[in-house]
């Protein structure tokens, strides 16, 4: 990490502010989601909300998907209305307020779902302004872009050590205290940006890259009001009729999450503001978007099905210490820091000799697929009544995080690199929409998880990831020729 610290020291002050923000956001996001699913699933007598396994898993998957989808609004506003800096600031402040609702003792389901709604709105306000701001910093320093995003990935995962902290606090002092830790950390890491962003950024990111004309603003306002009214009427009608069940809502969000990135890419490549060359780059980049969707389908199992598997079927006593199930979700953060540091140093050493983006991504996809395929072994070997070694879960994370260190920085950096000038922030949103599609697929896939068929469930998910990895590897040269590196 000393090498990484030296690299960070050579970055501009504005990057350091965004890195600190990424640290806090990573901590809050991972820390809250790690104990949130347990909070949903734990019986009322243990301080939870007492929902069943499938309902808890679907709520978390839908919440994740809606957060990504809502980011469309913030990214559009950043590119066309207010610039990149205000959405990041106001969205982060709203997220602090939203999580703070979970701190209130005995808030029950009312405050829980109010918090979820506000967190989704906060994601909508923020969009992808953080990553887009970093991309803007390196617009004229292309050689440093990949390093900057790899560093951002490592720093975010240092923050993702949150689950071990909030998990331990939740075990000893209750879930409300665990959520309070996330609020405090996010507030402390946001404060420097509030105080220093004007000095660090100057005018960068203050104006919209592609501002709307006054007539377009008025038209947008009318469309928003009409769309919101129609959506509320439709949702209300479906609820009153009794047609909209939790399962159907989950499936609908999953379908919407899959369709949105496809539609957004189509809008971008057909825009008159996009050159034919840029459109070709975006089309080729779609292969990475599909792969990113599949990785989130796999990761959805870690935060949903396997989180509850850890609670119910893993021996949580290690060397005489009793661990919380949430603490296991710190493992990916630790692995991401270690693997990310090694990979970052490797790419820096190789320089121009490093593998192409498509080759890195394809190899990463194979590792993503190996994770769920590996979990078939304990599911086959041990009966449901047996508490298995935590090393099975650790190895699952080793495989998928090794894959993530190859796919995530590549996908994020490429989103910034291929973004047409009029879609700087929105292209970053397209990347996260592909993650929303994966979360939506995870919500739909949860319906097919049934006792006695767990091995087949993970076989299908793992096979999908491996097959797409092979597609990327076989088409490596053609893909590399059609993308901006």
pLDDT for 377:
92
Mean pLDDT of 179-195: 91
Each residue of 68-126: pLDDT tens digit? 777 777 777 777 787 888 888 899 999 999 999 988 887 778 888 889 889 988 888 88
pLDDT at 1 over 50: no
Could you tell me if residue 285 is inside a domain? yes
Q: Give the confidence band of 227 by pLDDT, cuts at 50, 70, 90.
A: low
State residue 153's pLDDT score: 75
> Using N-to-C axis directions, what is the helix angle for 424-445 and 53-77, rounded to 10°?
170
Total domain count, the chain: 1
Note the pLDDT of residue 191.
93
pLDDT, tens only, 361-372: 999 999 999 999
- Cα–chain center distance at 98: 18
Q: Are 318 and 390 spatial neighbours (Cβ–Cβ below 8 Å)?
A: yes
Token pair for 18? 């965004």
Q: Report the pLDDT averaged over residues 315-334.
A: 70
**How many angstroms separate the CA atoms of 180 and 340, rounded?**
29
Task: Classify residue 24: in a domain, yes or no.
Answer: yes
> What pLDDT does residue 264 have?
83
pLDDT of 356: 85
Round to whole Å and give the CA distance between 322 and 312. Answer: 14
412 Cβ neighbours under 8 A, 6+ residues apart: 131, 149, 152, 153, 428, 431
Q: Is the pLDDT assigned to residue 471 strictly greater than 70?
A: yes
Q: Would you say residue 9 has pLDDT above 60?
A: no
Distance between CA atoms of residues 94 and 120, nearest Å: 10
Residue 150's pLDDT band (boundaries 50, 70, 90)?
Answer: confident
User: In the structure, how many helices (H) and strands (E) does the chain have?
Assistant: 19, 2
Under 8 Å CB-to-CB from 157, ≥6 apart: which residues? 26, 332, 333, 336, 337, 340
More confident residue, 30 or 460: 460
Kindly state whether residue 127 falls inside one of the protein's structural domains. Answer: yes
Q: Is 40 within the bounds of a domain? A: yes
**Rounded Cα gap, residues 381 and 483, in angstroms:** 44
Q: How many CB atoms lie within 10 A of CB 314?
A: 19
3-class secondary structure per residue, 165-229 = HHHHHHHHHCHHHHHHHHHHHHHHHHHHHHHHHHHHHCCCCCCCCCCCCHHHHHHHHHHHHHHHH
Q: State the virtual CA torsion across 24, 71, 325, 328 in degrees, nearest 10.
A: -60
Lowest-confidence range among 108-112, 188-192, 351-355, 439-443?
439-443
Q: Above 70 in pLDDT, residue 440?
A: yes
Residue 311 lies in a domain: yes
pTM: 0.67
Nearest one of 196, 209, 65, 72 to 133, comparing CA atoms: 209
Question: Do residues 459 and 301 lie in contact, with contact meaning Cβ atoms separated by under 8 Å?
Answer: no
Whole domain around residue 61: which residue ranges? 2-207+246-481
For residue 388, what are the β-bridge partners? 314
The Cα–Cα gap between 460 and 378 comes to 16
- Mean pLDDT of the 446-462 span: 80
The CATH number linked to 80 is 1.20.1250.20
Interval 281-311: pLDDT, tens: 888 899 999 999 999 888 877 666 777 777 7
Residue 174 covered by a domain: yes
Q: Is the pLDDT of residue 142 over 60?
A: no
């Amino acid at each position: 990490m000393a090498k990484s610290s030296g690299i960070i020291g050579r970055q501009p002050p504005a990057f350091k502010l965004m890195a600190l923000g990424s640290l806090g956001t990573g901590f809050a996001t991972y820390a809250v989601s790690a104990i949130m699913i347990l909070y949903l699933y734990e019986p009322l007598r243990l301080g939870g909300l007492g929902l069943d396994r499938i309902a808890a898993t679907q709520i978390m998957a839908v919440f994740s998907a809606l957060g990504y989808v809502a980011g469309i609004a913030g990214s559009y506003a950043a590119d066309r209305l207010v610039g990149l800096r205000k959405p990041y600031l106001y969205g982060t402040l709203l997220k602090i307020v939203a999580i703070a609702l979970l701190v209130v003792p005995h808030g029950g389901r009312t405050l829980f779902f109010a918090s979820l709604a506000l967190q989704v709105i906060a994601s909508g306000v923020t969009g992808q302004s953080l990553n887009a701001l970093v991309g803007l910093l390196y617009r004229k320093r292309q050689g440093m872009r990949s390093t900057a995003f790899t560093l951002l990935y490592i720093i975010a995962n240092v923050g993702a050590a949150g689950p071990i902290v909030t998990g331990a606090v939740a075990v000893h002092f209750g879930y409300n205290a665990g959520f309070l830790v996330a609020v405090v950390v996010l507030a402390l890491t946001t404060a420097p940006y509030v105080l220093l962003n004007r000095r660090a950024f100057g005018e960068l990111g203050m104006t919209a890259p592609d501002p709307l004309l006054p007539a377009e603003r008025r038209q947008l306002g009318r469309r928003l009001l009409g769309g919101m009214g129609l959506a509320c009427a439709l949702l209300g009608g479906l609820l009153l009729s009794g047609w909209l069940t939790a399962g159907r809502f989950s499936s609908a969000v999953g379908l919407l999450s899959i369709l949105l990135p496809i539609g957004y890419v189509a809008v971008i490549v057909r825009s008159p503001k996009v050159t034919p060359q840029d459109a070709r780059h975006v089309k080729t980049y779609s292969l990475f978007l599909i792969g990113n969707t599949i990785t989130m389908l796999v990761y959805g199992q870690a935060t949903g099905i396997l989180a509850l598997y850890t609670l119910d079927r893993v021996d949580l006593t290690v060397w005489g210490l009793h661990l919380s199930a949430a603490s296991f979700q710190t493992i990916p953060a630790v692995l991401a820091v270690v693997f990310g540091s090694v990979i970052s140093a490797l790419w820096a050493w190789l320089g121009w000799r490093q593998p192409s983006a498509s080759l890195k991504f394809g190899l990463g996809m194979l590792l993503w697929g190996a994770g769920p395929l590996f979990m078939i072994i304990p599911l086959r070997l041990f009966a449901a009544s047996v508490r298995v070694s935590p090393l099975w879960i650790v190895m699952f994370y080793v495989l998928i995080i090794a894959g993530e260190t190859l796919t995530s920085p590549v996908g994020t950096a490429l989103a910034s690199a291929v973004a047409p000038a009029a879609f700087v922030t929105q292209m970053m949103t397209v990347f996260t929409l592909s993650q929303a599609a994966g979360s939506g697929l995870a919500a739909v896939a949860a319906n097919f998880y049934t006792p006695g068929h767990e091995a087949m469930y993970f076989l299908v998910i793992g096979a999908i990831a491996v097959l797409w990895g092979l597609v990327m590897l076989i088409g490596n040269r053609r893909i590399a020729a059609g993308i901006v590196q």
